[in-house]
Amino acid sequence: MSLDERVAELSALLNRIEVQFAPALLMTSFGAEDMVLIDAIARGRLGIDIATLDTGRLPEQTHDLWRTVESTYARKVLSFHPQAEALGQYIRTNGANAFYDSVAQRMQCCGIRKVEPLGRALKGRAAWITGMRREQAASRAYILLEESDAEHGLVKFNPLADWSTDEVWQYLNQYEVPHNRLHDLGYPSIGCAPCTRAIQAGEDPRAGRWWWEQAGAKECGLHIREIPVAVTA
């Protein structure tokens, strides 16, 4: 499939989401895939909101791109933050970097900084959109374009599910879309600063996430709960 065909397909899907699933929300971490979606939504002047989880540990490069997105597209990115009480309690009890100590501590941190705020972000929405792709990780190999998200009680769209890495970058280059400078430093996946590193040639794209943990499902709890029921393939 050519890039033009990919873009036409993406545009048609986003238009359908806008019409049939209002209010819909794109959740972004400002990675390459999310930039394709932000650009396509802005280019189509679609009434789909854009939001991010400001965990408090995002890298400086991500904050820079956040500002660039708002100025380039003249759109406000909604931000959702951890609840101060829960975060303060976690840090007082465990320490600010306790996520290095155990998977349980890491999941707790992700729960406070990401999962709970995501639940608030999705309240009242009919659908949410992610930039996940099947190629990114074994844990994402079976994601669908459109899924039933029973956890949040809405529909989840992964419009780039079957895009390749090359196609993502072809789009960014062709449409001169800004990208996160961390990608130029060897980060295929963008996350919190202390939990994300660059990868070496040949490593799995998710190898730079929580690299001190055993290889496996490198997810933070945002994307592992959906019921894999296909609405469409």
Catalytic residue set: 220
Cα–Cα dist 66/29, whole Å:
9
Contact segment (CB under 6 A) with ligand SF4 among 18-26, 42-50, 172-180, 189-197 equals: 189-197
Q: Is 197 in the site for ligand SF4 (CB under 6 A)?
A: no
Interacting residue with ligand SF4 among 29, 52, 114, 167 (CB under 6 A): 114
Instruction: Take residue 73 and report the two structure tokens written for it.
Output: 């597209």
Which phi-psi region, left, alpha or beta, contains residue 176 (left: φ > 0; alpha: ψ -120 to 50)? left
Q: How far is the CB of 101 from ligand SF4 (least distance, A)?
A: 11
Q: How far is the CB of 56 from ligand SF4 (least distance, A)?
A: 8
| Strand ordering across the sheet containing 154-157 | 78-80, 49-53, 24-28, 127-129, 154-157, 146-149, 227-232
Q: Is 110 in the site for ligand SF4 (CB under 6 A)?
A: yes
Residue whose CB is nearest to ligand SF4 in the complex, by number: 192
Angle in degrees, 0-180, between the axes of helices 60-73 and 32-43, rounded to the nearest 10: 10
Interacting residue with ligand SF4 among 6, 106, 206, 218 (CB under 6 A): 106
Q: Is 223 in the site for ligand SF4 (CB under 6 A)?
A: no
Burial (0-12, 13-18, 19+ Cβ within 10 Å), 229: exposed
Q: Is 154 in the site for ligand SF4 (CB under 6 A)?
A: no
Residue 21 vs 99, nearer CB to ligand SF4: 99
Helix (H) or strand (E) holding 166: helix 165-174
Q: How far is the CB of 159 from ligand SF4 (least distance, A)?
A: 24
Instruction: Take residue 124 and report the two structure tokens written for it.
Output: 């009242």
Burial (0-12, 13-18, 19+ Cβ within 10 Å), 44: middle
Burial (0-12, 13-18, 19+ Cβ within 10 Å), 230: exposed
Closest CA to 141 of 132, 149, 130: 132
Interacting residue with ligand SF4 among 57, 75, 134, 152 (CB under 6 A): 57
Residue 215 vs 229, nearer CB to ligand SF4: 215
Interacting residue with ligand SF4 among 33, 220, 222, 223 (CB under 6 A): 220
Residue 6 vs 130, nearer CB to ligand SF4: 130
Cα–Cα dist 69/34, whole Å:
11
Number of residues that bind ligand SF4 (CB under 6 A): 13
Q: Is 80 in the site for ligand SF4 (CB under 6 A)?
A: no
Q: Is 55 in the site for ligand SF4 (CB under 6 A)?
A: yes
- By CB under 6 A, name the binding residues for ligand SF4: 55, 57, 99, 106, 109-110, 113-114, 191-192, 194-195, 220
